[in-house]
A and B are shown apart, each in its own frame.
Chain A
Amino acid sequence: MNQAISTHRGRLALRAPSLETTAAWLLAIVWIFPLLYAIWAAFHPPAFMVRFDLFAPLTLDNFANAWAQAPFARYYLNTFLLVTGVVLAQFVVCTLAGFAFARFPIPGKDILFMLVLIQLFVFPEVLIVENYRIASGLGLVDTITGIGLPYVASAFGIFLLRQTFKTIPRELEEAARVEGCGWMAILLKVYVPLARPTYLAYGLVSISHHWNNFLWPLVVTNSVESRPLTVGLGIFSAPETGVNWATVSAATLLSIAPLLVAFLLFQRQFVQSFLRAGIR
């Protein structure tokens, strides 16, 4: 904030801003409270779910229970494979398409691009019924590929990379061509390195999206072998199973921990990424 303004306001600092600060903090406490509550519930015996006692005994039993009652290790592995696979495949497919849209004279390019953008609105989860039929026909049901494949040609990724590639000066391309590079080499040596921030931003957004995605994975997976964390958690903690709340809290924390820790460590990058990747 600008220096001049703050001195100008200095006089009021004792009154008005304190109201604002209080409001901001109150809101922040309300907003973070559910997460703090989940942490509380997960680390205390079930008897303390709704009893707040600073000296309540801490315990890891809930985590042990959750871990024992569902194959979370396998779910982690599945989610990890899914997220890695999807993001890498998206990078390849969207890079190629983005590059084509940015630099190649394709007849009807604008119409094609509009067609791609439609996918910003028609996502795989809206079409679960037909996509399920298609995945089933391709033998992709209950596979990690089946969860990820519908998302690989991401309109959003194509759009972002096309925008980025368009801002890269043609002269760099010419220089590479003079050195005898073909199109692929130019793409890999000039465009991709310069678009690194876009990849980072898009990658982070895509990772968090697929880490958290639920409906399509729920529909297309049947077994532990392909079930990602969210689906495992959903099945585990559906209220009709009557699983102990403390255990559910622990399971919930287990599922969100990696992403949450990554977020806390790289907060700035995350926020920047979501921002850059603003249009989904």
Chain B
Amino acid sequence: MVIHNADRRMQVYGALLLLPAAVLLGTFAYLPTVATLVNSLFLPGFRGEPPAFVGLENYAMLVEDRTFWRVARNNLIYALGTIPTSIALALGMALFVNARLPGRGLVRMAYFTPTILPMIAAANVWMFFYAPQIGLFNKLLGALGFSGVNWLGDPGVALGSVIVMTVWKEAGFFMIFYLAALQSIPPELKEASDLEGTSRWSFFWRVTFPLLMPTTLFVLINALINAVRVVDHLFILTKGGPNNATNLLLYYVYENAFSFFDRSYAATITVVILLVLAVVATLKFTVLDRRTHYQ
């Protein structure tokens, strides 16, 4: 019985230790998630009337909303544009700075520095590059005799411009994970393959790349999350324009909630984001956690 009592005490004590975190998580993660789901089923009251339960009407509106589909498609393109490129670049960078290289420290610093800048600051700087008449890119193109591109004002190009900036910002962050993984690969493997005369190309594809697989998965998850979570640069670069060509889901939520005062519709779009994140989470917990190590 004594032991049992001690156990009880431990349990209570443990619960008390958890309490602050539980209260905060409840308030700022679970409660708002549930509230989002609930609110997506209501319409706001018209001129002071109470909100009305409308079932799935907001979702029906969403399905009919051309802007929503455009934004969703943009987000998909944005993910497809940023993720593979920044992962490939990150891997390349890691291979570069893992090799003997004059000025390696400087090179690594150059790759990594964009990571620690705020997205807002990065967007400010890239704004100077992209400005159509007086921006740096078009001045350079002009000097080479080409006509300028309207980087952020042409719907065919604008999303690409946003993607390029994002890749620049993210690649260095992912690099460090690859770098760590590369350094944990035993050098003996390389020696052995050199003795066998394996080309570096096939060594990379047959040995290095498979060994980096867990890192790649891990980086992939992070990149996926960032693709829905980070929209700060849109506030500076495009505000989602022209004609929603660069609008992303979370920015669309912001617009609906805070520019159009339509919180119900914002909640409905948020539910879509939550669904996407749920898929990513499932991917992580099922695929990644089986295979990878936590530092």
What mask results when residues 205 to 246 of chain A are scored 1 for a CB within 8 Å of chain B, else 0? Answer: 000100111110011000000000110011001110000010
Question: A149 near B109 (CB under 8 angstroms)?
Answer: no
Contact of B117 among A27, A212, A270 (CB under 8 A): A212
Cα(A1)–Cα(B98), bound, Å: 8
Stretch at the interface among A69-77, A168-176, A255-263: A255-263
Task: Give chain B's interface residues, CB within 8 Å of chain A.
Answer: 7, 10-11, 13-15, 17-18, 20-25, 27-33, 35-36, 39, 89, 92-93, 96-97, 99-103, 105-122, 124-129, 134-136, 139, 168, 171-173, 176-177, 180, 187, 190-191, 194, 218, 222, 225, 228-229, 231-232, 235-236, 250, 253-254, 257-258, 263, 266-267, 270, 273-274, 277-278, 280-281, 285, 294-295
Please tell me if A185 contacts chain B, counting CB pairs below 8 Å.
no
Closest to B117 in A: A256
Closest to B173 in A: A274
Q: A125-B250, A153-B24, A213-B118 are in contact. List 5 more A-B contacts (CB 8 A).
A: A31-B168, A120-B281, A230-B118, A238-B236, A267-B105
A-B contact pairs, 16 of them (CB 8 A): A1-B100, A27-B92, A28-B107, A37-B136, A93-B24, A96-B17, A96-B21, A121-B280, A122-B29, A126-B277, A129-B263, A153-B23, A214-B118, A219-B254, A267-B112, A277-B295
Cα(A23)–Cα(B252), bound, Å: 39
Residues of A within 8 A of B134 (CB): 49-50
Question: B187 near A2 (CB under 8 angstroms)?
Answer: yes
Which size class do A's interface residues fall under? 35 or more
> Given A129-B266, A278-B218, are A122 and B24 also a contact pair (CB < 8 Å)?
no
Measured between C-beta atoms, what is the minimum distance from A110 to chain B in Å?
12
Question: B103 near A25 (CB under 8 angstroms)?
Answer: yes
Cα(A4)–Cα(B180), bound, Å: 22
Cα(A28)–Cα(B101), bound, Å: 12
With most chain B CB atoms within 10 A of its CB, the pick from A122, A133, A275 is A122
Closest to B97 in A: A24
Please tell me if A105 contacts chain B, counting CB pairs below 8 Å.
yes
Residues of A within 8 A of B232 (CB): 214-215, 230, 234
Contact of A5 among B111, B116, B118, B187 (CB under 8 A): B187
Cα(A83)–Cα(B252), bound, Å: 28
Please tell me if A134 contacts chain B, counting CB pairs below 8 Å.
yes
Please tell me if A94 contacts chain B, counting CB pairs below 8 Å.
yes
Cα(A205)–Cα(B2), bound, Å: 44
What mask results when residues 140 to 158 of chain A are scored 1 for a CB within 8 Å of chain B, else 0? Answer: 0000000001101101001
Question: B267 near A50 (CB under 8 angstroms)?
Answer: no
Main secondary structure of the interface of B (DSSP, over half): helix
> Given A129-B267, A234-B236, A275-B180, are A153 and B10 also a contact pair (CB < 8 Å)?
no
Measured between C-beta atoms, what is the minimum distance from A120 to chain B in Å?
8
Please tell me if A45 contacts chain B, counting CB pairs below 8 Å.
no
Please tell me if A188 contacts chain B, counting CB pairs below 8 Å.
no
Cα(A133)–Cα(B116), bound, Å: 31
Question: A153 near B111 (CB under 8 angstroms)?
Answer: no
Cα(A3)–Cα(B39), bound, Å: 64
Question: B281 near A124 (CB under 8 angstroms)?
Answer: no
Measured between C-beta atoms, what is the minimum distance from A70 to chain B in Å?
13
Cα(A163)–Cα(B294), bound, Å: 9
Measured between C-beta atoms, what is the minimum distance from B160 to chain A in Å?
17
What mask results when residues 260 to 280 of chain A are scored 1 for a CB within 8 Å of chain B, else 0? Answer: 100110010011001111111
Please tell me if A43 contacts chain B, counting CB pairs below 8 Å.
no
Measured between C-beta atoms, what is the minimum distance from B118 to chain A in Å?
4
Please tell me if A87 contacts chain B, counting CB pairs below 8 Å.
no
Question: A256 near B121 (CB under 8 angstroms)?
Answer: yes
Question: A129 near B270 (CB under 8 angstroms)?
Answer: yes
Closest to B32 in A: A130
Question: B114 near A34 (CB under 8 angstroms)?
Answer: yes
Cα(A211)–Cα(B119), bound, Å: 11
> Given A35-B113, A100-B17, are A249 and B36 also a contact pair (CB < 8 Å)?
no
Contact of A271 among B35, B93, B176, B277 (CB under 8 A): B176
